[in-house]
Every structure is written in C-alpha cells, then in structure tokens.
Structure 1
Amino acid sequence: MSAPSKLIKIVLPLLIVALAVVGMRVLIAGRTEPKKEVRDIPGALVETLAATRGSRTVNVVGTGTVQPFREITLTPQVGGRLVEVSPNFVAGGFFRADEVLLRIEDADYRLAVDQARATLAKAEFELANEQGLADVARREWERMGLSGEQPTPLVLREPQLKNAHASLLSARAALGRAELDLKRTVLRAPFDGLVRAESVDPGQVVRAGTAVATLIGSERAEVVVPLPLAELDWLEVPHPGRSGQGALADIKLTAGDIPHHWNGRLERMLGEVDPQGRMARVVVAVEDPYGLRAKAGARPTLAMGTFVEVTLRGRQLTDVVVLPASALRDDQTVWVAEGGLLGVRPVEVLRRTRDEVVIGSGLDAGDQVVLTYLPGAAPGMKLRPTVRPAATENRP
C-alpha cells in the first residue's frame, strides 16, 4: 500500500468526526427553547345530587306470618250418634255464622224433655195439694179458738209446703236442663269462618267434651310483625286508656312476580319482647283475607301461615332532606361540592334505613351532595361533578 493511500485512510475518519462535531454544535447553538405549558388538573369525577327540603312520611317495614284472628275447638256438650254433617264441614270448607254444622240424634233427649215435663206437672200438683192442706190446717186451728197460742210450723204443714216448693223448683230445673241438652244436639257455627281440621263422619258416635274440629274466622286475620324497639317511636301504637287508631299498614304478598296488596291497621302491641332477638311484636289486622267480599279472582287469598311484607305508615317529618344511604360519611357528615371543591358538612341524622337517610339540619336546599366515595378525600380537593337527576317518587 502506497503512502498516500495510508494517509487518506487515517485523515478521512478524523475529518468526518470533526465535521460531525462542528455540525452538532451548530445545531445546538441554533435551536429554540420550547415554551413551558401549565397543565390544568380537572379534578376527581364525582356524581352529585341537589339537596331538596320537603316532607317525608316515615314508613316502617317488617315481615310476619298471617294467623287467624279467631280460632276455636268445636266440642259437643252432649253425646250421641251423628245423623247429619254439613257438606261444608270438611277441611278448608267455608261456613256462615249460625249455619248447622253437625246434628246429633235427639230421640233420647226428646224423651228426657217429656219425662221432665211430667215430673214438673206432678210437682205442681203436689204443691197445690200441700197449699190446700195448709189452708185447712190453719182454719181448723182458728176454729178451735185457742187464743193467745201460736200454732207450730208442723201444725200448719209448713215443712211439707217447703218440700213441695223445693220439688217444684227441682222439676223446673230438670226440664230446663233437658231442653238445653236437646238444643245442644245441633251444633251451629259461632261466626263466619272455615274448617281448619275435622275428625268426624256421619254415623259416628261422639262423646260430650271430645273435640271434633278446629274452626277459624274468615272475616279478619292478623299478622304478628317483629320490630326493633326504636321503630315504635315512629308509629301510632294503640294503648289501653288512649283514644285514637293505630297506624295504617300495607300488606304485600308476591305470587310469582306479581305483588298483591291488602289494607290493614296496627291493632295492638304484644306485652312482651322476644328474649332472643330483643324485638317488640305488634299485631296488624287485615279485613277479609279470603276475599269473600271482593270480586272473584281479583287477588289470591291471604291464607293462614303465609309469609308477607308489612309496611306501616308512621309519623310525617317536615322540612327534611332525603338522601341515599351511601351519601352519609363517617362522624355524621356528608360531602358537598362547593365551587368545584370538596366540602365536609356535619348534619343531623333523624332516621337511617338500608336505602336512605333523612337529614334534619346541616344542608340547605340546592347544596350539591357528593354521592361518589373518594379514598383519601380531604376538604378543598378539586372535583369534577356530574349531577344526578332528582328522584320523582316518594319511596318508603
């Protein structure tokens, strides 16, 4: 390799590097410095609800089981063979008040009535006879002219007369008992209702004092509803010595996906607290549970043993704010959006349920209440609120 070729190989790379360094310095010297931009932080995206003040009726919701208002055990007071059984006298059969349910053979009891009447007639004769003999004895004593001496009761036949009076009273009582036993051979329904259970058939011999059926009333039913003791303060509960009616109630039964409703009223509170759950128990009365007075097919029957939901209408609160339960924060506070910043307001909580909270004071109408939970939230935090439309229905 010649000397010029070696020189080119050595100088050419150095020249390229030098040109690159010069070009880089020229570019650096001629560049313009970029402008600094201040980025605007938009804040946390939250959902808000405008507070509105108004009235709210407090509704207390509970559940319970339907049970009969009246339930009796039908027991004959006389014995004998059953000669008639009503077609309605079957489990689930409905009957009307004073309807004949059972009839016991009454031949023996009719004979007993005839015998008692004969005994009464004989006693009346004996009394009349003794009265006549007593009058004769008194006249004989007066005819003897024993002045100054009083006749003894035995002379005037007073003991015999008392005995005749007693026999007459006994005969009358025996007739009354015989007629009463004859009347008791017919068993009638004491009220409108239905047969819950029965255990007799025509021709069967029944004994006095032996239960033959269980009857329940159909005009009214009751629902026993356990409630926390604190909920009673919101309700009108009848008490002895106080006037006024109990709180209105709505009884709901869901058959399939269709809800059915009955009107009811709080009748009384049972005088005890459940020892296990520490719950008070109130009784709600429901009229016509079987729909006997309603249009056929309007709704299903409210059968005994049915599990239902009961909504009791309580006191009305005025000038309050109702919010979703999730809007209430720790230490009885709510978050509000004020000028795009987070504010914390202490509030007066009048009532809290699973779904909502009722606020007395601490919020003004129009305040934007923050519904979204923000971990690590602090007063003054920047917000980006979106307004939720106000609810139009008055929920319980």
Structure 2
Amino acid sequence: MIQPANQQPAPLSKRLKLVILVFCLLIVAAGGAVGFRFIQTRPKPPQRPPSKIAPLVETLTVQSAQHTVIVDALGIVTPARQTNIRPEVTGTVREVGEGFVPGGLILRGKPLLRLDDADFALTLAAREAELQRAKAELDLERGYQQVARHEWELLRRAENKVDNPDLALRKPQLAQALAKVRQAETAAEQARLDLKRTAIVAPFTGLILEKNAEIGSRVSSQDVVAVLVDTASYWVEATLPVDRLAWITLGGNGRSGSKVQITSPASGARAEGQVLTLRGDLESQGRMARLLITLPAPLSAHPTPFLIGEFVRLGIEGRTLDNVIALPRSALREDDTAWVVSDEVLRIRKIGVAWRDTHTVLVDRGLTSGDQVITGTVATPIDGMAVTPTPDRGSRP
C-alpha cells in the first residue's frame, strides 16, 4: 500500500533505544576492563636502594717527622764596607791606575792615582839636608862635651866651687842639639811620607762605584776621588715581622747565626749567607725588624754576580721541631681545622699549628701518622658526610 508523500516515518520505539544504549555501555565497560587488565599485568622495574652520593676528594697521607722552620723574607744587597778615597796630600793627577773606571776591580795595594811628586821629592831632599846638618851640629856638641868634662875635672881638682855644674858641662847645649836632630828627623820622615802619599792605593780589594778624578785634575784632601766597595763580602738588609725573630738564631758574642739561602729573582744567582746581627731599630714605615745577613764572595755567584741595591729572596733556617706533620697551606681550614677521611667519611678536626707560612703548615697536635687529610675543596663540607678519596699519592709536605 502506497503512503502519501507528506507522511513522516514512524519514530524508533523506546525499546530499540534502550538496546542501543545498553550496547554502548557494554562496549565502554569492556574497553575499561581490558585497559585495567593491561595496567595490572604490566611489567614492573626492579626496585633498587637509593644510591649514596659520595663526592671525590683529593687526599694526602701524612707522616710525623722532624722539620726545620724556614723563615721567608726579602732583603736588599748593601755594601759591608764602603769608603770614600781622598788624597792625603794636595797635587795634580799625573796618571791613573789600570782598571780605574766605574765598575772596575782594584786589588789591594794597587795604585788608583799617582800625583805629580816633583815638589815632594825636592822637599824631601831639603829635609834630609837639614837632618844631616843637625847631626853634624850634634857631633860638634859632643866634642864640646868632652872638652867641658875635662875642664870640669880640672876645676874639681882645684877645689873651685862652680854654682851651676850643668852649664859647665854644656848639658843644655847637648839637649838642644839632640832636639834639633829629632826635629830634623821628624821633618824628613814627614817629607818621605808625603812623597809616598802621592801614590793613592786601594786599601782593600774592591769595586769602584764612582770615579771623580782624571789626569790633570788638581785634588786635595777635601776631594773624594773614588768610592770603593769591599768585594770580599756584602750585606743583605732583611725586613721581617717581629714575631719571626723568636725562630731565628742571631750571630754575635762568638755564636754563629742562622744559615740563609739567598736568591736573586732577577738573575737566579744563589749563595749561602749567615745572620750577622739584628739592627736595634724598626723600619719606619712597616714597623718591621731588620737583620743584617752576610753575603760572602758576591762577585763569584753563578750565573751572574749579586749587584748592590738589588732585591733578593731569603730562606732563613729557623728552629727544628720534632714530631710535627707538614701540610700544604691549602689543607688548613677555618679556625685551624683540617678535613680528615676516616672510613670514607669526612671528619672535621681541630689541629694545633706550630708554624705557618705562605706554603707550609707544621701541625703538632690533632693529627697522627697515617691520617688521610683532604687537600682539595669540598662544596659543602659536613662532619660525617660520605666521601670518596682519590688514590693515595704518598706523603708530601
């Protein structure tokens, strides 16, 4: 039967809608059950205990031993003996000695300058002539003495009384003649000495720092013709804190001072000196103590000689300490503590510092031989934290 064109289809029945809804819910439930099953049966990773974080640290195995304290200081090379050479007589320079130049080396007794000695030679000849005349007058007076003595004997035999026998025996005349001889001898010796002094010689083997005369120069006893420095030994004037003096042995009173290793930073020259004495005043600016240290044979140093006025580094041997442990300065922590590894655990220990300088620390308590001391850094050190020490590289200061 044909329905009309404007007629609508019949709506689905309520039962059919219910069936469709139930079917959808069954599909969703089945999917959820399958998913839940997958979750329940998925493989589980094996459970491990949390790993322990132990940072790697650099350590040093320490040993107790005997150590000599080395006091570091700086110093300036100065002359041990320096003299201004002045002529003892006035004259004109006739010649100069070989090596008489700034920086030249002059041996003891060798001439630096020679003055024109013609006038001095003439003066000596005149004084020697006066001496001969005085001696001749003395010989004449001694002859007169014999005559006077003979006359005195005759007067005594005649029993004549003489008021002043010294005049009769010409004793005043003899004394006068003797005085003239001595005076002439002195004048001749002075002229001889002045002639000798026309040769200006080096009083010791030395280095010429200054030369102030040349051939033709007119010089007198007021003029400094040269400045000479003794090359047998120099001094080093060192400055160091006052509290370091207790570690050093001072020289003097028959006692040898501490040995000193002297090094030139500029040339690398090395020498061994000795503490001579302590200056009695402090440095004006830094209030530092000042030592004088001997520097023997400064011109023989290798590879270059020491120069006056240069700065040098000093290593002064101080007292010797027994049963102490040497640590690098980097191993000393705040409040004089050290970090020690014990059973792979960091321990913070209080230590006693007997000596410290820029590079080394000497510990007399708080550590024992065989301890592993941490020398590197730890980001956040905590007493009791786990650490991993590096392979031991042996004991070193």
TM-score range relative to shorter protein: 0.7 to 0.9
1:283 aligned partner = 292
Q: CA deviation at 1:39?
A: 0.6
Alignment partner for residue 349 of structure 2, among 341, 345, 360? 345
2:103 alignment partner in structure 1: 92
Distance 2:52 2:366 in 1: 30
User: Is 1:366 paired with 2:377?
Assistant: no
Deviation of the 1:391 alpha carbon: 5.3
Rounded Cα–Cα distance in structure 1 between residues aligned with 2:372 and 2:39:
54
1:332 aligns with 2:336: yes
Do the aligned residues in 1 keep the contact of 2:75 with 2:238 (CA within 8 Å)? yes
Aligned-residue offset at 1:15:
5.8
1:163 equivalenced with 2:176 (yes/no): yes
Give the deviation of 1:76 after TM superposition.
0.4
Deviation of residue 354 (structure 1)? 1.4
Residue 272 of structure 1 aligns to a residue whose secondary structure is coil
Q: 1:272 aligns with which of 258, 261, 281?
A: 281
**C-alpha distance in structure 2 between counterparts of 1:9 and 1:105, whole Å:** 151
Question: What do residues 294-343 of structure 1 show as CA deviations (whole Å, max 9, x unaligned)?
Answer: 8xxx5112222222212223333232211111222233322211112222
* Letter in structure 1 aligned against 2:112: L
Supply the distance in 1 between the matched residues of 2:202 and 2:40 (Cα, whole angstroms). 116
Distance 2:82 2:335 in 1: 51
**Distance (Å, rounded) in 2 between the aligned partners of 1:342 and 1:228:** 36
Q: Distance in 2 between matches of 1:2 and 1:220?
A: 134
Whole-angstrom CA distance in 1 between matches of 2:46 and 2:150: 152
Q: Distance in 1 between matches of 2:109 and 2:161?
A: 66
Measure the CA separation in 2 of the matches of 1:391 and 1:4.
Answer: 98
Q: Which residue of 1 aligns with 2:4?
A: none
Query: Which residue does 2:389 correspond to in 1?
Result: 385
From 189, 214, 225, the counterpart of 1:212: 225
* Cα-to-partner distance string for 1:29-86 (whole Å, 9 max, x where unaligned): 6678887643132333322211112222222222222222221111000111111111
Is contact 2:86–2:222 with CA below 8 Å preserved after alignment?
yes
* Matches of 1:29 and 1:95, distance apart in 2: 107
Residue number among 190, 200, 204 corresponding to 1:177 in the alignment: 190
Give the equivalent residue in structure 2 for 1:317. 321
CA distance in structure 2 between the partners assigned to 1:90 and 1:32 by the alignment: 100
The one-letter amino acid paired with 1:55 is Q
Q: Is the 8 A contact 1:342 1:383 kept in 2?
A: yes
Q: Which runs of 5+ in 2 are unaligned?
A: 1-8
Query: 198-207 or 274-283, which moves further after superposition?
Result: 274-283
Alignment correspondent of 2:358 = 354
**Shift in CA distance, 132/51, structure 1 to aligned 2, threshold 3 Å:** same
- Could you say what secondary structure the match of 2:260 adopts? strand
Residue 57, structure 1, aligned to residue 68, structure 2: yes
Q: Whose Rg is larger?
A: 2
Q: Which of 219, 224, 245 is residue 237 of structure 2 equivalent to?
A: 224
Q: Distance in 1 between matches of 2:152 and 2:39?
A: 167
Counterpart contact for 1:141–1:151, Cα < 8 Å: no
Describe the superposition over 1:211-257 as per-residue Cα deviations: whole angstroms up to 9, x where unpaired: 11111122222211112223233333213x243x222222222457x
Distance, in Å, in 1 between the alignment partners of 2:10 and 2:140 is 185
Secondary structure at the aligned position of 1:345 is classed as strand
- In structure 1, stretches of 5+ residues that fail to align are none
In structure 1, what is the equivalent of residue 143 of structure 2? 132
Distance 1:164 1:2, change over 3 A: farther
How high is the TM-score relative to the length of structure 1? 0.86
- Give yes or no for contact 2:60–2:395 (8 Å, CA) kept in 1: no
Distance 2:20 2:92 in 1: 141
Q: Which stretch of structure 1 is more off in the superposition, 39-48 or 363-372? A: 39-48
Aligned residues of 1:321 and 1:360 also touching (Cα < 8 A): yes
TM-score using structure 2 length? 0.85
Q: Which moved more, 1:98-107 or 1:33-42?
A: 33-42
> CA–CA distance in 2 between the matches of 1:341 and 1:44?
10
Other structure's SS at 2:244 match: helix
